[in-house]
């Protein structure tokens, strides 16, 4: 399954350049290992048109608020 997600510019750029390899999200979408996420850069007013797609590796809710998860972001060619 693919999840389209908006993401603010500083976080998007950190993912694009490899400094950020995870996301913390409210789990209203049922994120699972093996799913893909298409992250769409958002500047607070509109979408820039830039996007990155990654595969979800590991998902955990450990030490998170209820219904929140942390998941790892992998390049598309890497299978979890």
Q: What is the pTM of this model?
A: 0.89
* pLDDT tens digits along 65-79: 999 999 999 999 866
Q: What is the pLDDT of residue 44?
A: 86
Taking the CB of residue 72, how many other CB atoms lie within 10 A of it? 16
Helices (H), the chain: 9-16
Which residue in 76, 79, 73, 75 sits closest to 5, CA to CA? 73
Q: Domain ranges for the chain, please list them.
A: 2-74
User: What is the C-alpha to C-alpha distance for residues 29 and 67, in angstroms, rounded to an integer?
Assistant: 10
* pLDDT tens digits along 4-56: 999 999 999 999 999 999 999 999 999 999 999 999 999 989 999 999 999 99
Q: What is the pLDDT of residue 36?
A: 98
CATH number of 2-74: 2.30.130.30
């Amino acid at each position: 399954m693919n999840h389209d997600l908006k993401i603010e510019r500083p976080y998007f750029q950190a993912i694009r350049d490899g400094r950020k390899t995870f996301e913390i999200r409210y789990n209203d979408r049922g994120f699972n290992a093996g799913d893909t996420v298409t992250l769409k850069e958002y500047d607070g007013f509109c979408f820039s048109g830039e996007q990155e797609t990654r595969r979800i590796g590991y998902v955990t809710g450990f030490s998170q608020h209820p219904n929140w998860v942390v998941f790892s972001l992998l390049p598309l060619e890497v299978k979890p």
